[in-house]
Structure 1
């Protein structure tokens, strides 16, 4: 009996290796493309989540606003102010204190195609030298009524208040206002009439008229005092019976496990 011991020829081996190489190359290219697509999708999702978080911070003022960091720009030119109407059938509510914004990721980023448009009650204020935009929070569990003025002893009327439209008719005292407990806040502008002139170490006088007798606090805007400045946007928190900077407030409420 004869046995066929014939194997693969050299040509057949070369052909088989070529086919295997082509198949492997194709698989590798497909796998590489899938990995790149997955990485791009992950980057885009991360960027979108970060941008959403920034917009939440912008809208709620839970952190000091930095428009450049959030890439937030007015939705339109001019005063960028819109009027919104809410029709509840028998009652129609109008709000003409709404601002429109658009948020775009870094244009230099390959994921810069994302653009979000939104409305917010938060207004952007262009600040010049010597001007400060302040958000004052009441983080205590009780309501407070505060009178705020800048007519501190020794002040030769070098300071004044202004609103988001830079109207300084309020002058050296703000209207009496009630701050709700657990996060009630108010925003206002404060400036040196002449940039660089005036002591910022205790330039705000805040009087708690609910206390008996009323209690007066002297709050400063200097960087080594109570308020941490970032492009002249400032946040003050009333917490544990004292006024604190955003930095000190966050430190006092930091999770010890972090």
Structure 2
């Protein structure tokens, strides 16, 4: 008996949904294990054989995590928020202006200069870690917010992303504004930048995630306990004789929530921004 077109299409859709759900489960399973393990007692977290659900529920791990020893995770949250807000804000300003300049201004060496900026994406952060630290220390920025923020305030990816979006924007909009007497500042702030809202919001998600999860640089440049960021504090979170895994996992779960909330609010613009920045190249 021959299967009809609609039946084949329905079967293909079901198979596709099963594959997508399976892939999604593979990605979300570690997070589920982290949440469930945060409710276990210390002896059950690394127990063999592994039990997915807690044998006995430890409801006090989240409360004790914020009051454990001399760790002030409320302060570490504030430090991370300060670094993320200023680093992302500066990144948006610099990436938008640089991307707009590369896309809409024709000057000698435009392509070469943009290629040089883009080539820095291939340089791993670890390769510039030592000279960057020496530079920050020579400027007396060690153990300061500026020392954390400035090196993370601009990425070549942000410039590339904004350049691609502005490149796809019609030149006629800019030319008509200039003919009406608008100067370059007004053209950028009143016309170009508002149109780039979707790309800007997508870049906010990208860069906020990058800065929020940054571990290596805070470990290098920060030595004072009261200046620690959240990933740094989680990495250093341990007791005198053992590591309190439930409390460590509880803080890790809480640390994921700001980015999760940010993505839930901006997910629509995230997808649109990624799609629109790839229209022209």
TM-score of the alignment, normalized to the shorter chain, above 0.5: no
Could you say which structure has the higher strand fraction? 1
Could you say which structure has the higher helix fraction? 2
TM-score (norm: length of structure 1): 0.23
Query: Which structure: larger Rg?
Result: 1
